[in-house]
Amino acid sequence: MSTPEQDFYDAVVIGGGPAGLTAAMYLARARYRTIVIEKDDFGGQITITDEVVNYPGVLTTNGRALATTMRRQAQDFGAELRTADVTGIDVLDDGVKLVHTTRGDVRAFAVVLAMGAAPRRIGFAGEREYAGRGVATCATCDGEFFTGRDVLVVGGGFAAAEESVFLTRYARKVTVLVREDDFTCDAQVADRAKHDPKIDVLYHTELEGVEAGEHGLVEATLRDAHTGDRRHWQPEDDGTFGVFVFAGYVPQTSIVDGFVRLDDDGYVICNPMTLETSVPGVYAAGDLRAKDLRQVVTATADGAIAAVHAEQYAADASRRTGVVPERPSVSVHERREREAGANIPEQTTIAPASNAVDDTPAPQVGSFFDDDVRTQLRVIFARMQRNVTLQLQLDDTPLSVELKAFIEELVHLSGGKLAMLSDHVERVDEHGRGIFNATLPLPFAAPVVSLLVRNDTGELVPTGIAFHGVPGGHEFNAFALALYNAAGPGQPLPDDERERIEAIHDPVDVMLLVSLTCTMCPETVRAAQRIASLNPNVRAEAYDIAHYPELKERYGVMSVPCIVVTRGDRTRTDFGRKGVTQMLDLIDHV
């Protein structure tokens, strides 16, 4: 058998939702070297689900918590996780798969496609124009922006029924527009919506268009799907309203179009028993494959089935080629098993486990960071090329007390890689809150943590990166990566993106209005702050919109992320998830 190759994997899983994480869990537990590549946040669509009550063995949880547990399980078994865009897949002469990503190519015997699906647009007038300005697709992210207002929900499936009930926490009244004569989901789920006193259901009704006034949506045109009759709809108080669209999903299969066989709707066609696609050694799992039911439980089942057959394929390919991928270290799971006295064999598959012993002391549980987060932080701190100073500016509110404690614990965990400076804001209102001018491109708003580094002469200089509020929830990953990007070397970028960043020669201010529950916000914050870390002409500051209502009112925020780019005397406001390329496009067009 040949020498193990350090840069070679048994399996690459593309997509970090429930299907992908389950596949990685099974593969890594069987001691195959596995990497999961995800372009956004790990967890997939389940992270925007407020309540999960039908996952076997779990009485009730929320989607984010369930996804976090799946991610930790995959990592504990030894799966590697990487954030990157996959741009294509090739099959080499020996059957090895070459997966092209924005962070370099990855070679593997087997590939599991688990990219999932994205919300479907239905095409009513104003859907694109008012996206982020009254039209939304994520109740968990944007529901709070419609507190006390009327809301239309479009759709008749699981998501529409479940999310309409969730929206009653905020909305004064929810009206569900169902195109068919009844909901198409399970009766028990539909009954919750049908019998909620704050929900009206209009059957065989379509949304044809919306119109907006100065402060938001003011009127909708509804169409009877049977008769074609149209009528105008307005909120009972003649105020503004929101529209949430839950009309199914579109499979995210563009990168494999022409590589594997797809059906007419773009879903992957595969063997129903093994989940192998038309390309040997490439499997499909989750919402992107052609099947009848798309739920988290079927996604995890797909992941397990695909993984088992990918294991067999990888083992056969390893024997055939003589290439033996090697796992880099003993997993957390194996370490626990050995500490418990279990007899762990040195090899259970064609992929040998390393004899290295992980002697890292078990982390202690802290008030802000659990064991899993501490493990991730240690990796980031170890890779930082220079120290980062966190400058706090605090007012007299409890939020400032929380931010200070949060940063103090982070600094303590850093092993000297982080330092902290703290200043008190003198100008406060009667509530102890720092006074700020919301009309500025990047208003100073306490509490805030800013990232500073030392230049070649040893002077502390700002990086242009800051977070107003406490960077917890989904924003913590973005904040941790901001530390890494500020300290260097930072997340890798394609040459064309780096060249575009370096070509920005005039000052640009990027205000990022976010919510800690928003799953689309972290990628947008990461993208803007990655640009700022490489170009001193760019400043990118994030604001937890829950604590700064002045900004919410000024920019009419009804959806997050909201991005306000100021360049000279020109300003542009945009909404939605943005990667580095999309953020550069936005900056270029201001």
How far is it, in rounded angstroms, from Cα 126 to Cα 298? 34
pLDDT (0 to 100) of residue 566: 97
pLDDT (0 to 100) of residue 565: 97
Alpha-carbon Rg for the chain in angstroms: 25
Say whether domain 135-247 belongs to CATH 3.50.50.60: yes
Report the CATH fold assignment for 8-117+251-339: FAD/NAD(P)-binding domain (3.50.50)
Q: Model pTM greater than 0.75?
A: no
- Determine which helix (DSSP H) or strand (DSSP E) holds 508, and give its type and residue range: strand 508-514
Q: What is the mean pLDDT of each run of 10 residues along the chain (590 residues)?
A: 66 96 95 90 72 80 83 90 91 93 91 92 90 84 88 94 94 96 92 96 96 88 96 90 91 95 95 96 95 86 97 93 75 66 50 41 53 83 95 93 93 95 88 88 94 93 96 89 94 91 97 88 94 97 93 86 95 90 94
483 alpha carbon, distance to own chain's centre: 18
Helix or strand or coil: residue 577? coil
Instruction: Indicate if 135-247 has the same CATH topology as 8-117+251-339.
Output: yes
DSSP string covering 450-488: EEEEE-TTS-EEEEEEEEES---TTHHHHHHHHHHHHHS
How far is it, in rounded angstroms, from Cα 274 to Cα 280? 11
Helix or strand or coil: residue 510? strand
pLDDT (0 to 100) of residue 369: 83
Report the CATH fold assignment for 371-588: Glutaredoxin (3.40.30)
Residue-wise over 293-322: b if at least 16 C-beta within 10 A, else e?
A: ebbbebbbbbbbbbbbbbbebbbebbeeee
Kind of pairing, strands 117-119 and 34-38?
unpaired
Q: What are the sequence ranges of the domains in the chain?
A: 8-117+251-339, 135-247, 371-588
- Locate 198 and state its tokens: 């704050």
Kind of pairing, strands 135-136 and 150-154?
unpaired
Q: What angle do CA 292, 298, 300 make, to 5 degrees?
A: 150
